[in-house]
Amino acid sequence: MTNTAGPGGGIKLTIEGASKNFGGVRAVVDVGAEIREGEIFAIIGPNGAGKTTMLNMISGFYHPDEGSINFEDHDISHMGPSEIAALGIARTFQNIALFRGLTVLDNLMLGRNVLMKTGVLSAFMYWGAARREEVEHREKCEDIIDFLKLTDLRKTPTGALAYGLQKRVELGRALAAEPQLLLLDEPMAGMNQEEKEDMVRYVLDVNQEWGTTIALIEHDMGVVMDISDHVMVMDMGEKISQGTPDEVRADPKVIEAYLGTTDNKEVA
Protein backbone atom coordinates (compact mmCIF):
# COMPACT_ATOMS: atom_id res chain seq x y z
CA MET A 1 0.00 0.00 0.00
CA THR A 2 1.36 3.42 -0.90
CA ASN A 3 0.81 6.64 1.01
CA THR A 4 -0.85 8.93 -1.52
CA ALA A 5 -2.34 11.34 1.00
CA GLY A 6 0.74 12.51 2.86
CA PRO A 7 0.65 14.92 5.77
CA GLY A 8 -1.23 17.44 3.63
CA GLY A 9 -4.33 15.20 3.49
CA GLY A 10 -7.75 15.90 4.95
CA ILE A 11 -8.51 15.95 8.67
CA LYS A 12 -8.64 12.45 10.14
CA LEU A 13 -9.29 13.19 13.81
CA THR A 14 -10.56 16.31 15.54
CA ILE A 15 -10.32 16.97 19.28
CA GLU A 16 -12.40 19.91 20.51
CA GLY A 17 -12.19 21.22 24.07
CA ALA A 18 -11.51 17.79 25.57
CA SER A 19 -11.23 17.65 29.36
CA LYS A 20 -10.90 14.74 31.79
CA ASN A 21 -10.99 14.83 35.58
CA PHE A 22 -10.16 12.09 38.07
CA GLY A 23 -11.70 13.20 41.33
CA GLY A 24 -10.10 16.56 42.03
CA VAL A 25 -7.28 16.02 39.55
CA ARG A 26 -7.63 17.71 36.16
CA ALA A 27 -5.71 15.31 33.92
CA VAL A 28 -6.63 16.99 30.62
CA VAL A 29 -7.91 20.55 30.37
CA ASP A 30 -9.70 21.96 27.31
CA VAL A 31 -7.41 20.41 24.70
CA GLY A 32 -8.06 20.86 20.99
CA ALA A 33 -6.12 19.46 18.05
CA GLU A 34 -6.43 18.14 14.51
CA ILE A 35 -4.62 15.12 13.10
CA ARG A 36 -4.40 15.10 9.33
CA GLU A 37 -4.55 12.06 7.09
CA GLY A 38 -1.16 10.54 6.34
CA GLU A 39 0.85 12.39 8.98
CA ILE A 40 2.85 11.41 12.04
CA PHE A 41 1.48 13.46 14.93
CA ALA A 42 3.45 13.41 18.19
CA ILE A 43 2.15 14.22 21.66
CA ILE A 44 4.95 15.16 24.04
CA GLY A 45 5.34 16.65 27.49
CA PRO A 46 6.85 16.05 30.94
CA ASN A 47 5.66 13.14 33.09
CA GLY A 48 2.10 13.69 34.28
CA ALA A 49 1.29 16.07 31.43
CA GLY A 50 -1.85 14.11 30.42
CA LYS A 51 -0.49 12.48 27.26
CA THR A 52 -1.64 8.91 27.92
CA THR A 53 -5.00 10.15 29.21
CA MET A 54 -5.41 11.90 25.86
CA LEU A 55 -4.59 8.70 23.99
CA ASN A 56 -6.95 6.74 26.23
CA MET A 57 -9.79 9.12 25.34
CA ILE A 58 -9.13 8.74 21.63
CA SER A 59 -9.17 4.95 21.93
CA GLY A 60 -12.27 4.80 24.14
CA PHE A 61 -10.71 3.60 27.40
CA TYR A 62 -11.71 6.94 28.94
CA HIS A 63 -14.45 9.33 27.87
CA PRO A 64 -14.03 13.11 27.98
CA ASP A 65 -16.01 14.87 30.69
CA GLU A 66 -16.27 17.87 28.39
CA GLY A 67 -15.63 18.45 24.70
CA SER A 68 -15.69 16.00 21.82
CA ILE A 69 -13.51 13.72 19.72
CA ASN A 70 -14.45 13.03 16.10
CA PHE A 71 -12.89 10.44 13.82
CA GLU A 72 -13.77 11.30 10.23
CA ASP A 73 -17.58 11.70 10.38
CA HIS A 74 -18.06 9.75 13.64
CA ASP A 75 -18.38 11.27 17.11
CA ILE A 76 -16.37 8.74 19.14
CA SER A 77 -16.40 10.71 22.40
CA HIS A 78 -18.48 8.12 24.26
CA MET A 79 -17.87 4.99 22.22
CA GLY A 80 -16.23 1.94 23.76
CA PRO A 81 -12.83 0.57 22.68
CA SER A 82 -14.31 -2.19 20.51
CA GLU A 83 -16.56 0.25 18.63
CA ILE A 84 -13.66 2.61 18.02
CA ALA A 85 -11.43 -0.27 16.91
CA ALA A 86 -14.10 -1.33 14.42
CA LEU A 87 -13.99 2.17 12.87
CA GLY A 88 -10.27 1.79 12.16
CA ILE A 89 -8.32 2.97 15.22
CA ALA A 90 -5.76 0.63 16.80
CA ARG A 91 -3.21 1.19 19.54
CA THR A 92 -0.24 -0.14 21.42
CA PHE A 93 0.33 0.33 25.14
CA GLN A 94 3.10 1.86 27.22
CA ASN A 95 3.30 -1.39 29.20
CA ILE A 96 3.38 -4.43 26.92
CA ALA A 97 -0.06 -6.07 26.83
CA LEU A 98 0.58 -9.30 24.93
CA PHE A 99 -0.68 -12.79 25.75
CA ARG A 100 2.67 -14.16 26.87
CA GLY A 101 1.69 -17.83 26.60
CA LEU A 102 0.54 -17.48 22.98
CA THR A 103 2.81 -17.51 19.96
CA VAL A 104 3.71 -14.47 17.90
CA LEU A 105 1.30 -15.59 15.18
CA ASP A 106 -1.55 -16.22 17.62
CA ASN A 107 -1.11 -12.76 19.16
CA LEU A 108 -1.35 -11.19 15.72
CA MET A 109 -4.41 -13.30 14.91
CA LEU A 110 -6.10 -11.82 17.98
CA GLY A 111 -5.47 -8.42 16.45
CA ARG A 112 -7.58 -9.49 13.46
CA ASN A 113 -10.58 -10.21 15.68
CA VAL A 114 -12.20 -6.86 14.95
CA LEU A 115 -12.21 -7.73 11.21
CA MET A 116 -13.60 -11.24 11.52
CA LYS A 117 -17.13 -11.72 10.20
CA THR A 118 -17.83 -15.31 11.26
CA GLY A 119 -18.71 -15.83 14.91
CA VAL A 120 -18.67 -19.10 16.83
CA LEU A 121 -22.20 -20.13 15.78
CA SER A 122 -21.70 -19.33 12.12
CA ALA A 123 -18.38 -21.16 12.21
CA PHE A 124 -20.26 -24.34 13.13
CA MET A 125 -23.03 -23.74 10.57
CA TYR A 126 -20.80 -22.64 7.72
CA TRP A 127 -17.50 -24.34 8.39
CA GLY A 128 -16.16 -23.76 4.88
CA ALA A 129 -16.70 -19.99 4.95
CA ALA A 130 -15.21 -19.71 8.43
CA ARG A 131 -12.23 -21.79 7.39
CA ARG A 132 -11.60 -19.64 4.32
CA GLU A 133 -11.81 -16.48 6.42
CA GLU A 134 -9.31 -17.88 8.93
CA VAL A 135 -6.87 -18.69 6.13
CA GLU A 136 -7.18 -15.16 4.76
CA HIS A 137 -6.57 -13.62 8.18
CA ARG A 138 -3.61 -15.91 8.77
CA GLU A 139 -2.05 -14.85 5.47
CA LYS A 140 -2.39 -11.18 6.45
CA CYS A 141 -0.68 -11.91 9.77
CA GLU A 142 2.11 -13.81 8.03
CA ASP A 143 2.70 -10.76 5.82
CA ILE A 144 3.05 -8.56 8.92
CA ILE A 145 5.40 -11.09 10.51
CA ASP A 146 7.57 -10.93 7.40
CA PHE A 147 7.43 -7.11 7.39
CA LEU A 148 8.59 -6.99 11.04
CA LYS A 149 11.29 -9.61 10.41
CA LEU A 150 9.80 -12.05 12.93
CA THR A 151 9.53 -15.01 10.58
CA ASP A 152 11.82 -17.31 12.56
CA LEU A 153 9.91 -16.49 15.76
CA ARG A 154 6.35 -16.88 14.47
CA LYS A 155 5.69 -20.01 16.59
CA THR A 156 7.57 -18.78 19.67
CA PRO A 157 5.56 -17.82 22.79
CA THR A 158 5.87 -14.06 23.18
CA GLY A 159 6.83 -14.45 26.84
CA ALA A 160 10.09 -16.06 25.71
CA LEU A 161 11.09 -13.10 23.53
CA ALA A 162 13.44 -10.27 24.42
CA TYR A 163 11.78 -6.99 25.40
CA GLY A 164 12.50 -5.23 22.11
CA LEU A 165 10.99 -8.09 20.13
CA GLN A 166 7.88 -8.07 22.33
CA LYS A 167 7.42 -4.38 21.50
CA ARG A 168 7.69 -5.29 17.83
CA VAL A 169 5.03 -8.00 18.24
CA GLU A 170 2.73 -5.51 19.93
CA LEU A 171 3.14 -3.18 16.95
CA GLY A 172 2.32 -6.13 14.71
CA ARG A 173 -0.85 -6.93 16.62
CA ALA A 174 -2.04 -3.34 16.20
CA LEU A 175 -1.18 -3.44 12.49
CA ALA A 176 -3.14 -6.69 12.12
CA ALA A 177 -6.34 -4.67 12.60
CA GLU A 178 -5.47 -2.70 9.43
CA PRO A 179 -5.97 0.65 11.19
CA GLN A 180 -6.50 3.95 9.46
CA LEU A 181 -5.22 5.67 12.62
CA LEU A 182 -2.51 3.97 14.68
CA LEU A 183 -1.94 5.15 18.25
CA LEU A 184 1.49 4.36 19.69
CA ASP A 185 2.07 4.87 23.41
CA GLU A 186 5.84 5.18 23.90
CA PRO A 187 6.80 2.58 21.27
CA MET A 188 10.54 2.98 21.96
CA ALA A 189 10.39 3.00 25.78
CA GLY A 190 12.99 0.74 27.39
CA MET A 191 14.79 -0.04 24.15
CA ASN A 192 18.49 0.15 23.43
CA GLN A 193 19.75 2.31 20.57
CA GLU A 194 19.70 -0.47 17.96
CA GLU A 195 16.15 -1.49 18.89
CA LYS A 196 15.03 2.15 18.73
CA GLU A 197 16.47 2.53 15.24
CA ASP A 198 14.63 -0.60 14.10
CA MET A 199 11.34 0.62 15.56
CA VAL A 200 11.75 4.06 13.97
CA ARG A 201 12.23 2.39 10.59
CA TYR A 202 9.07 0.30 11.02
CA VAL A 203 7.01 3.31 12.12
CA LEU A 204 8.20 5.32 9.10
CA ASP A 205 7.50 2.42 6.73
CA VAL A 206 3.98 1.97 8.11
CA ASN A 207 3.34 5.67 7.62
CA GLN A 208 5.04 6.20 4.25
CA GLU A 209 4.48 2.86 2.49
CA TRP A 210 1.19 1.73 4.02
CA GLY A 211 -0.34 5.21 4.25
CA THR A 212 -1.31 4.82 7.90
CA THR A 213 -1.89 7.97 9.94
CA ILE A 214 0.02 7.76 13.23
CA ALA A 215 -0.33 9.53 16.57
CA LEU A 216 2.38 8.72 19.07
CA ILE A 217 3.61 9.53 22.54
CA GLU A 218 7.38 9.37 22.85
CA HIS A 219 9.93 10.69 25.36
CA ASP A 220 12.91 10.48 23.01
CA MET A 221 12.96 14.02 21.64
CA GLY A 222 15.48 13.13 18.96
CA VAL A 223 13.05 10.58 17.54
CA VAL A 224 10.07 12.92 17.82
CA MET A 225 11.79 15.80 16.05
CA ASP A 226 13.16 13.55 13.31
CA ILE A 227 9.99 11.69 12.28
CA SER A 228 7.00 13.87 13.19
CA ASP A 229 5.10 16.16 10.86
CA HIS A 230 3.36 17.99 13.73
CA VAL A 231 3.90 18.01 17.48
CA MET A 232 1.50 18.88 20.31
CA VAL A 233 3.08 19.72 23.65
CA MET A 234 1.17 19.18 26.90
CA ASP A 235 2.02 20.28 30.42
CA MET A 236 -0.10 19.87 33.55
CA GLY A 237 -3.02 18.65 31.41
CA GLU A 238 -3.02 21.65 29.08
CA LYS A 239 -1.83 22.09 25.51
CA ILE A 240 0.93 24.68 25.63
CA SER A 241 2.18 24.48 22.04
CA GLN A 242 1.53 22.88 18.67
CA GLY A 243 3.25 23.09 15.31
CA THR A 244 6.04 21.66 13.23
CA PRO A 245 9.04 20.21 15.09
CA ASP A 246 11.07 23.36 14.37
CA GLU A 247 8.29 25.64 15.64
CA VAL A 248 7.81 23.62 18.81
CA ARG A 249 11.55 23.31 19.47
CA ALA A 250 11.89 27.09 19.53
CA ASP A 251 8.74 27.86 21.55
CA PRO A 252 9.67 29.53 24.89
CA LYS A 253 6.73 27.79 26.63
CA VAL A 254 8.07 24.39 25.60
CA ILE A 255 11.62 25.27 26.65
CA GLU A 256 10.35 26.40 30.05
CA ALA A 257 8.23 23.26 30.55
CA TYR A 258 11.19 20.98 29.84
CA LEU A 259 14.13 22.98 31.14
CA GLY A 260 12.64 25.44 33.60
CA THR A 261 14.11 28.44 31.79
CA THR A 262 13.85 30.30 28.49
CA ASP A 263 17.36 31.74 28.43
CA ASN A 264 18.63 31.01 24.92
CA LYS A 265 17.93 27.28 25.09
CA GLU A 266 16.15 24.90 22.78
CA VAL A 267 14.58 21.51 23.32
CA ALA A 268 17.15 18.90 22.35
User: Above 50 in pLDDT, residue 263?
Assistant: no
- Report yes or no on 94 lying in a domain: no
- Report yes or no on 6 lying in a domain: yes
Q: Which amino acid, 242? A: Q
- Report yes or no on 93 lying in a domain: no
Claim to verify: residue 20 and residue 5 sit in the same structural domain: yes
- Average pLDDT on 202-230 reads 94
- Report yes or no on 108 lying in a domain: yes
Which of 177, 193, 227 is the last residue in one of the domains? 177
Which of 177, 212, 241 is the last residue in one of the domains? 177
How many separate domains does the chain show? 2
pLDDT at 94: 78
Query: 134-172, pLDDT tens digit by residue?
Result: 778 889 999 999 999 999 999 999 999 999 999 999 999
User: Above 90 in pLDDT, residue 50?
Assistant: yes
Mutual angle of helices 127-147 and 104-111, in 10-degree steps: 110
Radius of gyration of the chain (CA): 19
pTM summary value: 0.87
Claim to verify: residue 218 and residue 114 sit in the same structural domain: no
Q: Residue 192: which CATH number?
A: 3.40.50.300
C-alpha 103/C-alpha 142 separation (Å) is 13
Q: Give the domain range for residue 23.
A: 1-88+179-268
User: Above 80 in pLDDT, residue 131?
Assistant: no
Claim to verify: residue 186 and residue 173 sit in the same structural domain: no
Q: What whole-number percentage of the chain has pLDDT above 70? A: 86
Claim to verify: residue 46 and residue 77 sit in the same structural domain: yes
